[in-house]
Amino acid sequence: MSIRGIYTSVNDIRKRVFEEVARLSYNYEEGDLSEMEQIPYRIIPGEISTYRESVFLERAIVKERMRLSMGLDLRTATEHAPVSTGAEECVKPEKYYQPPLINIIKFACHACPDNQVVVSDQCQGCLAHPCKEVCPKGAITIKNGKSHIDEDKCIKCGKCISVCPYKAIIQLKRPCAEACGMKAISSDEYGRAEIDQEKCVSCGMCLANCPFGAIADKTQIFQVIQAIRSDVPVYAAIAPAIVGQFGPDLTLDKMRSAFKALGFEDAIEVAIGADLCTLQEADDFINEVPDKIPFMGTSCCPAWSVMAKKEFPEYADCISMALTPMVLTGRMIKKNHPGCKVAFIGPCAAKKLEASRRTIRSDVDFVLTFEEVMGMFEAKDVDFKEFESHNTMHGGSGDGRAFAISGGVAEAVSNVIEERYPEIDVKIERAEGLDNCRKMMLMAKAGKYNGYLLEGMACPGGCIGGAGTVKPVAASRAAVLQNKKASSKAHSYNSTYEELLDEIGAVE
């Protein structure tokens, strides 16, 4: 059971940290970051703890969250220094993330039980004790009339769980490890979670599912705002998953006004980049499958793409080389506005990793999640109700806007192929969640998907389930589908970017 889509105290603290960091950056005067020392006391006021055993621990965790939110390195409990130590590094607008991107605040980790089968208080001590009878390792004994499991003997087969008539036996799994499709999370010597950075693809599912808020990624909130305050125009490239993320008062036709209120030069819809990606992937599929490669995987989800290439290197060429919508949009904006900067606004933690690659840095300068941008809106006291509904976004097709949901990419590519090559029947397989993506690749490796177009999405539901989203997946899906239906152009092959180029002041 996931806690995604439920607003909790963890979400509230994250939001308040982002808001305070954004306010700090908007108000920053050269050389003075002393305000950082006061922020933990505003977020965690008073003398009595609210969430943990100590108010001092709560503030210490907030301090490390602040540092990560400013793109700074995480510190351990052994380091004694003001929270602002080294913070001058984050003032540079050109600062990029230093790995690792996803971090565990060790003294915030609960050291959750890692895959244990336990008997709960619901055990009724029944006469039949079927749990004991089905255990293949003799790990269950009856003590004082209740079932007892010897963890040293238990192999976690789950047979006892399935036969207990009272559902009294449960399997405890560490939420972050269970959410990690790369199996990159283990335990350190103190039982706290630890990330194998060689395996991690920065999908962010661990941080989205940790109920203790012990996992956080680095952000560029401070750097984006510093760039906005400079003389260089900064454009916001907004991902299709954005619809509905900031509540009913910020509709797509108010989006440009809202981002201009934050100081951006303008906001551009990444759906146009999705259309360009679709056209390229359709051509690649026709030209390469099955003559050159047995199947083709989509390219837009960086976590899926990295996983597929990392774990199935012999099929790396089968993942489309098409540039992602983020990169295509960034490149288009910079072509028409030389010298500007581009901030991608999206749902995805892995996009931060993608943008930090040296081959991408010239196209996309910053990546912010919806959750982080919400902190900027709060810091600027932006009231969405004040904006008139007239700045309609242009350029993206319905299919391009549907990139945000699972199945949307494959459908868009299929629609182009059907239009341009009606004699070809495109077979599609798709998967969401890295565990399922891996299974799909294993089937492809076995030859089950020869001639197929494979769509991989690392997050549940697609991009709308990304680690940086604000709204529940089901509500976001409905909003994206409504936005797709409202588009003036249904398919990517209908889309032209002339309207968009005219609107953002294209140059020859």
**Cα 295–chain centre separation:** 27
Residue 2, domain member (yes or no): no
Residue 21 is encoded by which pair of tokens? 């960091």
What tokens does 117 get?
């089968």
pLDDT of 240 > 80? The answer is: yes
For the chain, the domain total comes to 3
54, 153: one domain: no
> Is residue 18 assigned to a domain?
yes
pLDDT in tens, 359-372: 888 899 999 999 99
Specify which residues 368 forms β-bridges with: 345
Q: What is the mean pLDDT of residues 219-230?
A: 96
Mean pLDDT of the chain: 93
> Is residue 463 domain-shared with residue 340, that is, in the same domain?
yes
Distance separating alpha carbons of residues 83 and 100, to the nearest angstrom: 19
Q: What is the mean pLDDT of residues 61-67?
A: 96
Residue 508 has what pLDDT? 31
* Cα 427–chain centre separation: 28
Note whether 294 and 425 are within 8 A (CB): no
Query: Does the pTM of the predicted model rise above 0.85?
Result: yes
The mean-pLDDT minimum among 85-94, 350-359, 417-426 falls in 85-94
- Rounded to an integer, the average pLDDT of 228-255 is 94
Average pLDDT over residues 137-157: 96
In a domain, 1, yes or no: no
Quote the DSSP letter at residue 118: E
CATH number reported for the structural domain that contains residue 143 in this entry: 3.30.70.20
* Residue 54 forms part of a structural domain: yes
Do 228 and 149 share a domain, yes or no?
no
The residues that bridge with 117 in the sheet, in sequence order, are 171
Contacts for 257 with CB less than 8 Å, ≥ 6 apart: 387, 388, 391
490: helix, strand or coil: coil
> Predicted confidence band at 504 (pLDDT cuts at 50, 70, 90)?
very low
Task: Judge if 211 and 286 occupy the same domain.
Answer: no
* C-alpha span between 141 and 127 (Å, rounded): 13
* Same domain? 330 vs 384: yes
Closest CA to 290 of 452, 164, 403: 452
The confidence score (pLDDT) of residue 79 equals: 85
DSSP single-letter state for residue 19: H
At residue 199 the predicted structure's pLDDT band, cuts being 50, 70 and 90, is very high
The DSSP letter of residue 319 is: B
Q: pLDDT at residue 301 above 50?
A: yes
- Say whether pLDDT at 502 is over 70: no
Q: Is residue 195 part of a domain?
A: no
User: Quick one: 368 and 461 in the same domain?
Assistant: yes
Tens of pLDDT, residue by residue over 316-329, are 999 999 999 999 99
Q: Are residues 267 and 379 in the same domain?
A: yes
Do 354 and 435 reside in the same domain of the chain?
Answer: yes
Residue 506: per-residue pLDDT: 40
Q: Does 457 share its domain with 365? A: yes
- pLDDT top residue among 431 and 30: 431
The answer, yes or no, to whether residue 505 has pLDDT greater than 50, is: no
Report the candidate in 415, 402, 426 with the shortest Cα–Cα distance to residue 493.
415
Instruction: Say if 181 falls within a structural domain.
Output: no
Question: Average pLDDT in the 139-168 region?
Answer: 96
Claim to verify: residue 233 and residue 360 sit in the same structural domain:
yes
209 shares its domain with 228:
no
> Quick check: 161 and 124 in contact, CB under 8 A?
no
Identify the band that residue 208 occupies on the pLDDT scale cut at 50, 70 and 90.
very high
Check whether residue 384 and residue 460 sit in a common domain. Answer: yes
Say if 60 falls within a structural domain.
Answer: yes
Least confident of 79-93, 225-239, 258-272, 433-447: 79-93
Other Cβ atoms within 10 Å of 358 Cβ, number: 7
Residue 155 domain boundaries: 116-172
pLDDT at 436 over 90: yes
